[in-house]
Structures are given as C-alpha cells and as structure tokens.
Structure 1
C-alpha cells in the first residue's frame, strides 16, 4: 500500500462475493490523518480489520489516486460510531483523466445515536469511466464537536 498522510468491530453486510477492485495494487492513498492502530489499509479490504480512524478531530479527506484510469460501477461505504451521538456529513467526488475538477457523486448526512443507531451503510450504483481520483470528505460532526471521523469500509467495483 502506498499512502501519504497529508496534514470497534465492524459488521459486514455487503456482497462479499463481489469482484471488488484491489485498491492496494492500483492506487496511492492520501489521508489527512490516521490513528496508527486503525490505518487506512484496514478500510480498503472487503473483510478483516475494524477500518480506519482519524488521529485528529474535524474534517478529514481520504483520496484514492489511481495509477491508470478506472471504470467504477459500484461504491460501498460503511461507517460505524459506537460511542458519540453526532450528525456526520460526507461528500464523495471523483475526477477523470487526471483532471483537477471534481464532480460530486453524493453528499449525505447521517445521525448516529448510540447505542441504537450506530451504523451507516451505503452502496451506490454508478457508471463512471476514466476515474483517476476518488475523494471522500468526512465532516464527523456538523455541529463542530471534537468527534473523530472513522470509516469501516470503502470498496469499489
């Protein structure tokens, strides 16, 4: 895994038989921060470790920079929060053919209210060709608390 730092147990519900892209071998990852005990590699695999967690509070960026343009048909996101009640917002965007302008795929808010509502799981059917950058921006709490962003899974097919 090539990555650059630029500034709980996860329940699996996605289709584990899907042909997910092997991001380790086709992309470089840029992240805004990372808790050493929960590195980004853990969130980019279909099964396994509990995912990524930011080392710092506040907005976070996870950026996948593909070595060659990719065709993306599905995007799976899993985010868990077991401890802090909060409203999170994320924005998923992409750039094509090494361009610098991003197009937004989705912007969504979700309220975590442990112990009841602790998981946000989304799967998007898309038809994107020539993707060279995929960016996930997470605002862990729209009210500005010291909550830390986390990501259980980010999978692409």
Structure 2
C-alpha cells in the first residue's frame, strides 16, 4: 500500500531515488505539511519522494514571493539534523531560507537558522545542506523560503527535505 503525504495548501497574499538513513523521521507517517502554495505540475509530495541530487523532482510554489512550509508532527520529535536540497537552473537569484521550531504546537516559534544561497545558471545551480542540530520535543518546524531577495516575482523551490532523529 502506497501512503500519501498528508498536506494542506493555504492561500496567502532527474534525480535518483535513495533509501533514507535509518535515523530519518518518516515525514509521510509522522507529520502533516502545511504550505502557502504548490504548483500543479510540481507538488509538495516531490520533497519526500526519495529522489535526491541534481535533476531530482522538486516542489515549486504555486505563487511568487515568500513561501512557508510548516511540518506539524503527530508527536513531539527530537531532531538531530536537517538535510535539504534546492536546485535552480533557470535564473540567477539570491534565495534566503529560515528555519523556526515550536515545542508548543505552533503557539510560539523561535528561529534556529537563516541561510542565503546564490544561484546562477552559468555557475552554481544546486545546493545541498546537512545541518547538525540538537532540538528536543519539536512539535512544529517552519521553513520560510524567500525565493529572491532582489525580485519578488520568483517562485520558491525545494527538491528534498529530511529530518534526522
């Protein structure tokens, strides 16, 4: 039986499949993902389909501008790391990623990390990050993607994300 990602979309103004490490939290079985938008041709499900690396499937926002993904865990999780991948082959842009966590079911969030990446079709087109963390009893993890700090007419993209226990 093939299980589906539980997701909710809310309104707002060729890779290879790899098996996940044993210490990976199964997002499909353990969380609901709330997103501000998704493209019909590049759904949110693509971030957990096991495809990783350059050319892998990806989620593309259905709207331009900043986007938010909230991973609402069914039970509190201890998170030792986050692995995520982003690919941009079409336009030069500076993307900003911000991660925040909550231990009280989303009532309050605290920022844990903010990163910027420069993408260029003639240079850097793929970014993979492996973050080592020590987060206890996380009920919600929020990822905010500002697709281009200099141009609000870009769409956020994410190829893959995994949480390590």
Q: What TM-score do the two structures reach when normalised by structure 1?
A: 0.90
1:100 corresponds in structure 2 to 107
Match of 2:10 among 2, 6, 20: 6
> 2:19 & 2:132 partners in 1: Cα distance?
13
Partners of 1:87 and 1:51 lie apart in 2 by 18
1:56 aligns with 63
Number of residue pairs aligned between Structure 1 and Structure 2: 155
1:49-71 alpha-carbon deviations (Å, 9 max, x no partner) = 60211011100001100111011
| Structure 2: unaligned runs, 5 residues or longer | none
Q: Which runs of structure 2 are paired with 1:137-152 in the superposition (5 Å)? A: 137-152=144-159
Q: Which moved more, 1:51-60 or 1:18-27?
A: 18-27
Structure-1 separation of matches of 2:118 and 2:40: 26
Select between 26-35 and 113-122 the one with higher mean Cα deviation: 113-122
Q: How large is the RMSD of aligned CA atoms in angstroms?
A: 2.0
CA distance in 1, matches of 2:63, 2:106: 29
Quick one: which of 38, 48, 66 aligns to 1:44?
Answer: 48
Q: 1:35 to 1:74 in 2, by over 3 A?
A: same
Q: 1:135 aligns with which of 130, 139, 142?
A: 142
Cα distance in 1 between the residues matched to 2:126 and 2:106: 33
Distance 2:133 2:139 in 1: 15
* Structure 1 unaligned blocks of 5 or more: none
Is the CA contact (8 Å cut-off) linking 1:75 and 1:123 kept in structure 2? yes
SS in structure 2 at match of 1:100:
coil
